[in-house]
């Protein structure tokens, strides 16, 4: 069930929050041993909270669309009294004494946390093959990665454990797993959802947001995370007269043919639904990726430098990235931030021509676990760089970007579409995404496993 459907059933007393929690816990007990989406399941606390929320509904208190809905939080997000590992051995027993601000907001909206999801160690990567808590598997093909770093959250939603899980996104860590797992992920405008109480990876690139089964679920969750609980309504699908820009440079280079075909079809669908589709040229997207990588490396190493003497407590890939970040001179970091400011001005001019960008979310479908390279026309590209090159630019710019499924490959793997807008235009993205989602007919599709 979607959040909207479950919420309606709850308010009409056709189901209770306690039953929704029991169903979610049963699904996790049955299927998570193969997926490994969760690090911690908070069954007892979830049952107790469901009882409380059922009593509230019985007394006529309705907190809104998320009242009584089971959700999960990425384990990078601090939860009071529940260990929050960040996927790291360093924090294997870390139990925060307060909730992150977004957890507080979702709690106030009536959501029920049923557990903490697995992730790429310290969010510093995209495979979610965690050396300390085990690899997360893609629900569509257990031999493939779910993407990351919010891989457990996306896998938990795709498998139907919960209708929504929280994620964080520094270079694509919400949208990449959403794309690889066939669910919907929003990276909001920078600072729109509070990162207070979220363990940092890169201060000026970190974002928090929802991963949901549908655009509507992502929207309802996002509005709850920003504290608008009193006025939450489902965005109406609408593409009419929306000026959609198809990047003529960079975003359609080096794509797997099945991804290119599915996204081109999605662009045609947008036009058929009334959008004014036009090709546009963007400034230097490669430069955004260069400075985004450099800034992330430097900031992440700043955060974790104090643990550099504990090499054995890090996975080898993450430790290598932290070493690279240690070497970046302050002048390079500051120059990267200066280039970022210049590019931000140049890219903002795109909004004089269009309201929204439409592009692939990732250039490939989910790679196999352990795969380090993907191939494009015979040329190899590092899996991490390939997975992030279409998402990272929007972290650098701080623009909102939505990933939603737009098709499946011949091998049955989901293909992700990405919509990006000007700052604070999330509602427009949801309306456009909902219209496309209706047309694709893929909403809420669950793997047959």
Partner 1 sequence: MTDWRALAAALRAPIEQEDWAQVLPVMENLERALDPLRENLDHGEAPWTSDDIE
Per-residue binder mask for partner 1 (CB under 8 A), 105-144, x = binder: ----------------------------------------
Q: Is residue 283 a contact residue for partner 1 (CB under 8 A)?
A: no
Residues 6+ apart with CB under 8 A from 178: 147, 154, 184, 185, 211, 361, 403, 404, 416
Q: Which of 335, 346, 375, 412 binds partner 1 (CB under 8 A)?
A: 335
Where does 8-109 show beta strands of DSSP type E?
38-41, 70-74
Q: Is residue 326 a contact residue for partner 1 (CB under 8 A)?
A: yes
C-alpha pair distances (Å), 64 with each of 2, 3, 67, 104, 221: 14, 11, 6, 15, 11
Maximum C-alpha span of the chain: 64
Contacting range for partner 1; rule: CB under 8 A; set: 168-176, 210-218, 257-265, 337-345: 337-345
Q: Is residue 286 a contact residue for partner 1 (CB under 8 A)?
A: yes
- Chain positions 415 to 434 lying near partner 1, rule: CB under 8 A, are 422-423
Residues 6+ apart with CB under 8 A from 59: none
Q: Which of 190, 223, 250, 430 binds partner 1 (CB under 8 A)?
A: 190
At its nearest, how many Å lie between partner 1 and the CB of residue 110?
A: 31
Choice among 128, 150, 153, 173 that is catalytic: 173
Choice among 84, 129, 149, 301 that is catalytic: 149
173 given a catalytic annotation: yes
Neighbouring-strand partners of residue 408: 414
Distance, C-alpha 382 to centroid of its chain: 21
Contacting range for partner 1; rule: CB under 8 A; set: 168-176, 210-218, 343-351, 369-377: 343-351
Tokens linked to 168: 């964080």
* Number of residues located near partner 1, criterion CB under 8 A: 39
C-alpha pair distances (Å), 446 with each of 74, 163, 378, 406, 443: 21, 11, 33, 14, 9
At its nearest, how many Å lie between partner 1 and the CB of residue 262?
A: 30
74 given a catalytic annotation: yes
Q: Which of 336, 374, 383, 390 binds partner 1 (CB under 8 A)?
A: 336
Q: Which of 59, 309, 312, 379 binds partner 1 (CB under 8 A)?
A: 309
Alpha helices in 273-372 (DSSP H): 285-304, 316-326, 330-348
Smallest CA-to-CA distance from 416 within 138, 208, 245, 181 is with: 181
Q: Which of 33, 230, 329, 441 binds partner 1 (CB under 8 A)?
A: 329
Q: How many residues are present in the chain?
A: 449
Residue 81 CB neighbour total at 10 angstroms: 12
Q: Is residue 332 a contact residue for partner 1 (CB under 8 A)?
A: yes
Active site residues: 74, 149, 173
Which residues form the interface with partner 1 (CB under 8 A)?
A: 189-191, 204, 286-287, 290-291, 293-294, 297, 308-309, 311, 320, 323-324, 326-329, 332, 334-342, 344-345, 348, 397-399, 422-423
């Amino acid at each position: 069930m979607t959040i909207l459907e479950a919420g309606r059933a709850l308010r009409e007393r056709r189901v209770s929050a306690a039953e929704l929690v029991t169903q979610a816990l049963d699904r996790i007990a049955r299927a998570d041993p193969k997926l490994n989406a969760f690090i911690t399941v908070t069954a007892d606390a979830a049952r107790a909270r469901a009882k409380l929320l059922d009593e509230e509904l019985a007394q006529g208190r309705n907190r809104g669309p998320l009242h009584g809905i089971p959700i999960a939080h990425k384990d990078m997000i601090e939860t009071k009294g529940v260990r929050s590992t960040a996927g790291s051995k360093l924090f294997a027993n870390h139990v925060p004494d307060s909730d992150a601000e977004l957890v507080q907001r979702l709690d106030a909206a009536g959501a029920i946390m049923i557990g903490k999801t697995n992730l790429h160690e310290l969010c510093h990567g995209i495979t979610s093959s965690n050396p300390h808590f085990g690899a997360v598997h893609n629900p569509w093909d257990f031999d493939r990665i779910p993407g990351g770093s919010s891989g457990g959250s996306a896998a938990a939603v795709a498998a139907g454990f919960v209708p929504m899980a929280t994620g964080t996104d520094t270079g694509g860590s919400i949208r990449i797993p959403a794309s690889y797992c066939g669910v919907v992920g929003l990276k909001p405008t920078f600072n729109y959802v509070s990162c207070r109480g979220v363990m940092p990876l890169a201060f000026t690139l970190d974002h928090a947001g929802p991963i949901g089964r549908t655009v509507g679920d992502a929207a309802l969750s996002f509005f709850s995370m920003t504290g608008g609980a009193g006025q939450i309504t489902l965005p109406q699908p609408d593409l009419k007269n929306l000026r959609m820009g198809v990047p003529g440079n960079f975003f359609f280079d080096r794509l797997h043919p099945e991804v290119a075909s599915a996204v081109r079809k999605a662009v045609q669908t947008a036009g058929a639904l009334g959008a004014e589709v036009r090709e546009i040229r963007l400034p230097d997207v490669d430069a955004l990726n260069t400075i985004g990588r450099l800034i992330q490396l430097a900031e992440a190493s700043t955060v974790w430098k104090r643990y550099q003497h504990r090499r054995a407590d890090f996975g080898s890939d993450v430790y290598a990235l932290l070493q690279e970040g240690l070497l970046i001179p302050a002048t390079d970091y500051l120059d990267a931030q200066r280039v970022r400011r210049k590019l931000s001005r140049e890219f903002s001019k795109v909004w004089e021509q269009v309201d929204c960008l439409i592009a692939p979310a990732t250039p490939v479908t989910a790679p196999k676990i352990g795969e380090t390279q993907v191939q494009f026309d015979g040329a190899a590209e590092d899996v991490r760089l390939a997975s992030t090159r279409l998402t990272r630019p929007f972290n650098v710019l701080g623009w909102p970007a939505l990933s939603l499924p737009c098709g499946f490959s011949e091998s049955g793997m989901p293909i992700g579409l990405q919509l990006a807008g000007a700052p604070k235009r999330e509602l427009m993205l949801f309306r456009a995404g909902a219209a496309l989602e209706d047309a694709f007919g893929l909403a809420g599709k669950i793997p047959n496993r």
